[in-house]
Amino acid sequence: MQTPDQLKELVKQKYAEIASQSKEDNSSSCCGATNSCCTPGGEVYNIMSEDYTQLEGYNADADLGLGCGLPTEFAKMKEGDTVIDLGSGAGNDCFIARKVVGASGKVIGVDFTPEMIKKARKNAEKLNFHNVEFRQGDIEDLPVTSNIADVIVSNCVLNLVPNKHKVISEVYRALKPGGHFSISDIVLIGEMEASWKQVAELYAGCVSGAIQKTEYLSIIQEAGFENITIQKEKEIVLPDEILNNYLSLESIAEFRSSNKKIVSITVYADKPAKDERKCCEPGNGCC
């Protein structure tokens, strides 16, 4: 069993490789940096990614095809907002958010892969964007001060992080009272066999790091968020041609005949304008 630090290093290595590839090479999240889960004929599946091309602010150079939703479409951002994007990659969601918040707003992208930060900064400089910045850091320990963001978004990233409780607590800390988040992610319905969580390619491709949908929503509730709403949900169907690279025919058949599902959800929640729990006051150390 790999440790959380080993899993983080795995994801960092994979996404460093992905940063150097084209969207076409990355258009199947599962295929990641090696294309080892594509079919022998080289077909690439758009398994999880959504179409951003109709959204204002879209920039093709920043779209690596790695998302599983459109959180910026549902995030209720407005002009003047400060927005944080967790796992900002090459800057795709940041550039969409920038268009919405305008010159009076600000967007901060956080990613822990140096190659992704470099790519995102290059894209921002090329486009002459001045209200977007990219910070290298771990989203389990966000490099931002508390109560700074009006809105937080993230696209298919939290499933890659071992300690999801810590990430959600950091989201709570970084949001202003009354702020909110919209996060797209991969969750599971029904228990998957252990081998799924042991497959490195699937982990870097957002599947084996996913947790149960009920647990995911519970973590958000336990952190103190209110008005938790699923804004969008869709089942992710992994083709047999991909699963054959990792699982036995018997395992695949069992999965297909069960009620187990891999699901993309976009979740919205509010941080209360006043936290009556008082758990975040100095000295209590619960946040």
Residue boundaries of the structural domains of the chain:
4-23+50-270
Q: How many Å apart are CA 127 and CA 123, to the nearest integer?
A: 6
Q: What is the pTM of this model?
A: 0.80
Residue 5: band (very low, low, confident or very high) from pLDDT cuts 50, 70, 90? confident
Closest CA to 105 of 128, 80, 131, 69: 80
CATH 3.20.20.80 fits 4-23+50-270, yes or no: no
pLDDT in tens, 39-55: 333 333 345 566 665 66
| 48 to 66, 68, 70, 207: CA distances (angstroms) | 8, 5, 11, 10
Closest CA to 235 of 202, 205, 213, 264: 264
Cα 125 from chain centre: 24
Whether the predicted pLDDT of 68 surpasses 80: no
- Please tell me the predicted confidence (pLDDT) of residue 20: 64
